Chain A
Amino acid sequence: MENGNGSAVVVAQDVTRQYGEGDTRVDALRGVSVDVPSGKLTAVMGPSGSGKSTLMHILAGLDKPTAGSVVVAGKEITTLGDSELTKLRREHIGFVFQFFNLLPMLNAEENILLPLTIAGVKPDRARFDELIRSVGLGDRLRHRPSELSGGQQQRVAIARALVSEPDVVFADEPTGNLDSKTGGEILELLRHAVRDLGQTVVMVTHEARAAAIADRVLFLADGNIVRELSGASAHEIAATVEEISAQ
């Protein structure tokens, strides 16, 4: 698998996405080309409605582009059928959601193991324990989501996204529903996943502080990538956001 540092796990070329027809037509993406390098944390920023979520859904195979190509783990996914996409999600992709999306009737451990259960894979106990330790959920495994705080729920969700060691994890505003302190802890966790576990993460965020932990920040505006920063500080990022929204 081309999981080596530096090579791209996701390659999108000239991706456009239109919603609706005629008068109500919306061009959410107007020809976006982007590489997601392996083992890096990529942040996506931009004003509301600029197409961040749309881009992410297309890169993850949840949505189909109107035109253009998307290659994930060496495979063109825009032409895949449902069962192949299912296989792709199982083997190569993890998700972290803004609203956690945990299953209420399962406890934390069951939620975390769900991707493996679905794939019919036996969990590796040692790795699982390691994962639990790293997300800091040791004593909460038997709790239901309703008995966990938002931050704890998102930790469960991150553990769930990491449990199957996907090639890339997509996170759409993972801190959008949390206070800033808890949000900071979650960001730290994602950073840790990239740095120490060698994961690849693509994260949409509105916060400069969050984007600052990224190796690379992409700026979207009106369906186009308009800027790209690497290893920028929160201050630089905030300035860029200002600049873009002013245009």
Chain B
Amino acid sequence: MIRFSLKGMMGRKLRTALTALAVILGVTMVSGTFVLTDSIDKAFDAIFSSVYEGTDATITGRSAFDLSDGSGTTAPPFDESLQPEVAALPDVAAAIGGVAGEAQLVGKNGKAIVFGGAPNLGFSVDPTKPEFNTLTLEQGSWPADGEVVIDVATASKKDLSVGDQIGVQAEGPVEQFKISGLVKFGSVDTIGGATLAGFNLPTAQQLFRKVGKLDQIRVAGKPGVSSSQLVSEIEAILPEGTQVRTGAEQATEDAKGTDEFISFLRYFLLAFGVIALFVGAFVIFNSLSITIAQRTRELATLRTLGASRRQVRFSVIVESLVMGTLASIIGLFLGLALATGLFKLFDAVGFTLPNSGLIFSTRTIIVSLLLGITVTLIASILPAFKATRVPPIAAVREGATIAPGRFARFRTPIAAVITLLGFAGLLWGLFGPDLETTQILLFMILGMVLVFIGVAMLSAPLIPGLTGILGWPGARFGGAAGALARDNARRNPQRTASTAAALMIGLALVTLVATLAGSIVQTFTGAVDKVFVGNYAITAQNNFSPIPIDAAAAAAQAPGVVAVGNVRTGEALVFGSTEFATAVDPGAAKVINLDWVEGSNAVLGELGKDGAFVDEDYAKKHDLKIGSPVEITFANGTTATFTVKGIFDPPSGGSPFGVVTISAEAWDAQTSSPKNLYSFVRMDGGESEANAAALEAALKPFPNAKFATRGQFVTNQISGLKSILNVLYVLLGLSIIVSLFGIINTLVLSVFERTREIGMLRAIGMNRRQTRRMIRHESVITSMIGALIGIVLGVILAGLLIFKIDLIDFSFPTSQVIIFAIAAVLVGVVAAIFPARRAAKLNPLEALHYE
């Protein structure tokens, strides 16, 4: 029987191949994701352990509470007097202090050197102990006073060499340095396209505003002293606000940020692989169902020859098992190619990921194969049972049909129940009380899956009606071909429904994303309009990095400036939990306008040393009123009590403030190298060329800062979202491609099934063009049905999410929806190319002889 199944597949090569493609694409994505992220992971591990090679222990500053990565708040530096004390310990062979920070390189043209949104890393280096340096010297020499070493990659991209001058902007204005050498980061040219700069310790301390301070001391023990021994020896003399780790622990700690990034990237990409597989399941299910229907006579003959139902079922399952396995293996290896391609792609967009060879782990193989095969098998279960319902008498009687299953009568009620369950799951996930994030995700994903399946089943009864409407233009203006196409599309509603369903999923997700993004943009724009009442905003070149406060201070000196309001952000410990906190200076009262529940906008300017304002929800949660005390613990361990002076209602669409906001003055007192997230500027005469020129001149020494008008500021802030949106579209495009193959497959099968009929049409005078048009119209009708249902579903899902998020207002993405509808038509046209050619090529005579 197995041999029989395999022969059957061989006999249906094209159909099998088209069906397999649906699995291959998804598995490729899954496998490629694993290969990519494993490879990056391994490369980073190698980098970080090479950085701490020869370091037995490290001493670093310790934050008073756990900081999340990228919050803007970093562990406070410690006094450099610790270094000689450590060096003097009996088992210590060497102890080297260092500082690090952001150092923006500035090209000869005065422009900041940036690659994408990559960071600009600056380090101190010790020429006497190069083995302790994060950077490794490739060319030239280590820097003396007034000198800098930069990374090889930046040097070659910007055509810089040893001896050239280069500008560096850290906490203060640009300073000029001479390039004394070129370096790498450990063993790699760059990580994530970051630029690297190394200075001697005094220069670095001055640049990063850490004079007399250190971020880290690296310690090497005397021979024969174990790391743990060394660590406990150091521990005994450590002052408050510092900690010691072994070199290996520090490497792991440093790798944490990248590990988080890698695991995010992994799950993010995997999600799209799984979506593609889910869509693939529909395609497989549909192809198999059609194939079974077409093989009715063959299967019935087998039954008359003594095959049992089990054998028939088994033959279908074996067939899909073999196909699923082959497809998964192909996908698995294509994943290697995909990973290579993604490395190149990331490199091309300036986000170079370290790659020390592709990692093809057992886990990748197992998960990819398991997913691909399982999805195929699950999709084949119903068709396999359908095959068992082929009655033996169908071998002899033309038109004997497959008996409907036991549950066929309940099809619509079952579909309705599945859909309702799906929505119930979604709603529970969104609005259920006290759910954890994983539970929320689980309910939502499960809900979505059920909704998609349920809607796909429910749509079958709608097909005749929808086909009538969507097929009308074709039938009206496309002549006989158009009318036949419409009738073909609705003669097997279940088939058309399942084919359209695959596309529906992709379009629902795309629409969901577009609606969410559109609503966010809309609400955000509204919020900026309302909150930001100044004329210009100052941000980093990449629109999101915090910038040194000196930049805004310089801008404040520009002629015509009435007020500058700076917003600092970071983390602080409030009421026992780490919160997103902000700080403003008095100028904010003139450039920011909030809705106040208690207090007034004047509060922004009257915070003083111990005033604070909080948002409404937070006030409710902690029962805060005007005059209530709020204890805030800063990263450096200092705890201070602030008094609530105002409570504001955060605007939907993005509040510039955290739950609690204090004055910049109070903030800076507790924060090492404070930075602004935004600065808003109000000028005499509003937006004008003269004012722009004045700001331009004032910001010249700060190339990593830029100013923007209100309008530009909104556009800039949205541009990040737009790029994310584009990435999402591309990734969801994968599942749309899968559904495209689904349509091709259905059409090829239909053409095959209607060989006689098409032959007859050709014989009575339908020409090739009309034949092609007939197939194309049918394809477009199918894809439009998928698009229509998908778009409606996507908008509904987005509506639910937006209702839940409550910070954004729903806005219908009209232009995107129009684009999606056009794209769906294109999908239909493209899908029809190959099947239509096959249909048109049919020789009328042969077609009529076809048995």
Q: Which residues of A are interface residues toward B (Cβ below 8 A)? A: 53, 57, 62-63, 82-83, 85-87, 89-91, 95, 97-99, 101, 103-106, 110, 114-115, 117-119, 160, 164, 172
Contacts and interface: CB of A to CB of B under 8 A. Distances in A.
The 6 closest A-B pairs by CB, nearest first: A90-B306, A105-B11, A62-B393, A101-B301, A86-B308, A105-B7
Interface residues of B, number: 26
A169 to B, nearest CB: 12
B296 to A, nearest CB: 12
B830 interface: no
20 contacts: A62-B392, A62-B396, A82-B309, A83-B309, A91-B306, A95-B305, A95-B395, A98-B396, A101-B297, A101-B301, A103-B301, A105-B7, A105-B10, A106-B7, A114-B4, A114-B305, A117-B1, A118-B307, A160-B305, A172-B396
Contact of A83 (B1, B308, B393, B851): B308
Nearest to A60: B304
B298 interface: yes
Interface in B298-316: 298, 301-309, 311
B8 interface: yes
Nearest to A83: B308
A90 B1 CA distance: 15
Contacts of A105: 7-8, 10-11
Contact of A118 (B7, B305, B392): B305
Contact of B851 (A99, A106, A164): A99
Contacts of B10: 105
A60 to B, nearest CB: 8
B393 A95 contact: no
A27 B458 CA distance: 39
B395 to A, nearest CB: 6
A53 B309 contact: no
Contacts of B1: 117-118
B4 A106 contact: yes
A89 B309 contact: no
Given A86-B308, A95-B304, 5 more contacts: A57-B396, A62-B395, A101-B297, A105-B7, A114-B305
Contacts of B11: 104-105
Interface string B3-18: 1100110110000000
A86 B4 CA distance: 19
Contacts of B391: 62
A82 B306 CA distance: 11
Specify which of A53, A97, A103, A117 lies most central, judged by the most chain B CB atoms within 10 Å of its CB: A103
Contacts of A95: 304-305, 395
Nearest to B393: A62
Per DSSP, chain B at the interface is helix
B395 A97 contact: yes
A95 B393 CA distance: 11
B397 to A, nearest CB: 8
Contacts of B393: 57, 62-63
A111 to B, nearest CB: 10
Contact of B396 (A53, A85, A115): A53
Given A57-B396, A97-B396, A106-B4, A86 B305 contact: no
Contacts of A119: 306
Given A57-B393, A101-B395, A106-B4, A115 B309 contact: no
Contacts of A87: 306
A92 B395 CA distance: 18
Given A99-B851, A106-B7, A118 B302 contact: yes
A173 B401 CA distance: 22
Contacts of A90: 306
Contacts of A97: 301, 395-396
Contacts of B306: 86-87, 89-91, 115, 118-119, 164
Contacts of B311: 118
A76 B397 CA distance: 24
A106 B309 CA distance: 21
Contacts of B307: 86, 118
B305 A115 contact: yes
Specify which of A86, A160, A172 lies most central, judged by the most chain B CB atoms within 10 Å of its CB: A86
Nearest to B306: A90
A198 B393 CA distance: 27
A102 B285 CA distance: 27
Contacts of A104: 11
Contacts of A101: 297, 301, 304, 395
Given A105-B7, A117-B4, A89 B396 contact: no
Specify which of B8, B303, B304 lies most central, judged by the most chain A CB atoms within 10 Å of its CB: B304
Nearest to B388: A82
B304 A89 contact: yes
Contacts of A103: 4, 298, 301-302
B7 A89 contact: no
A62 B304 contact: yes
Contacts of A118: 1, 302, 305-307, 311
B422 to A, nearest CB: 35
A97 B301 CA distance: 9
Contacts of A62: 304, 391-393, 395-396
A117 B3 CA distance: 10
A197 B476 CA distance: 66
A62 B1 CA distance: 22
Contacts of A82: 308-309
A241 B294 CA distance: 38
Contacts of A86: 303, 306-309
Contacts of A91: 306
Contacts of B4: 103, 106, 114, 117
Nearest to A95: B304
A110 B226 CA distance: 74
A114 B8 CA distance: 13
B686 to A, nearest CB: 80
B446 to A, nearest CB: 36
A108 B10 CA distance: 17
B372 to A, nearest CB: 25
A228 B309 CA distance: 38
Contacts of B298: 103
Contacts of A85: 392
A57 B392 CA distance: 10
A75 B1 CA distance: 28
Interface string B261-295: 00000000000000000000000000000000000
Interface in B413-427: none
A106 B306 CA distance: 17
A55 B1 CA distance: 31
Nearest to A99: B851
Contacts of B3: 117
Nearest to A146: B851
Contacts of A63: 393
B848 to A, nearest CB: 16
